[in-house]
Amino acid sequence: MTNPSTQRYSTLRYWIQGVACVVALSLCCTLSADEPVEATITTSPEKHVVSWFLIGGSSATPEDRYVGWDLRQSGWGKFVFMRVRPGLEGGIRRVLLHNPFGHELPNNTMAFDGSLNADEQGHDWLVEGFVEAWKPVVEGRWSGGDPVEVICYLGRLDEAPGFEALKDASDEEGYQARAWASVALPLAAGMSIAVDSSADLPENHPGFRFIRDLRDSGVRVYVEARPDTNKPHLHNWPMISVESFWERSDPTRHADARGMERDAHSHGEVIQLFTERKLTPAIAQEKLAQGYSVAAQLNHEIWQANKLNRWLNPQ
- Please report the pLDDT score of residue 10 as a whole number: 42
- Please report the pLDDT score of residue 23 as a whole number: 36
pLDDT per position as a tens digit, 23-69: 344 334 445 555 544 445 556 777 899 999 999 988 888 899 889 99
Q: What is the DSSP string of 106-150?
A: GGGPPBTTHHHHHHHTT-HHHHTTHHHHHHHHHHTTTTTT---EE
- Residue type at 3? N
Distance (Å, rounded) from C-alpha 93 to C-alpha 149?
Answer: 6
Share of the chain above pLDDT 90, in %: 54
Lowest pLDDT segment from 32-36, 184-188, 189-193, 207-211: 32-36
The residue ranking higher by pLDDT, 20 or 93, is 93
Q: Give the largest CA-CA distance in the chain.
A: 66
List the domains of the chain with CATH numbers: 32-312 (3.20.20)
Cis status, amide bond into 225, omega within 30 of 0: yes
Q: What is the DSSP string of 228-263?
A: BTT-GGGTTS-EEEEHHHHHHT-TTT-TT--BPPP-
Q: How open is the CA angle 37-39-45, to the nearest 5 degrees?
A: 75
Residues making up the chain, counted from first to last: 315
Q: Does pLDDT of 315 surpass 80?
A: no
pLDDT per position as a tens digit, 78-108: 999 999 999 999 889 999 999 999 998 666 6
Average pLDDT over residues 289-315: 81
Nearest C-alpha neighbor of 259 from the set 274, 275, 273, 242? 242
- Please report the pLDDT score of residue 312 as a whole number: 83
- Please report the pLDDT score of residue 85 as a whole number: 93
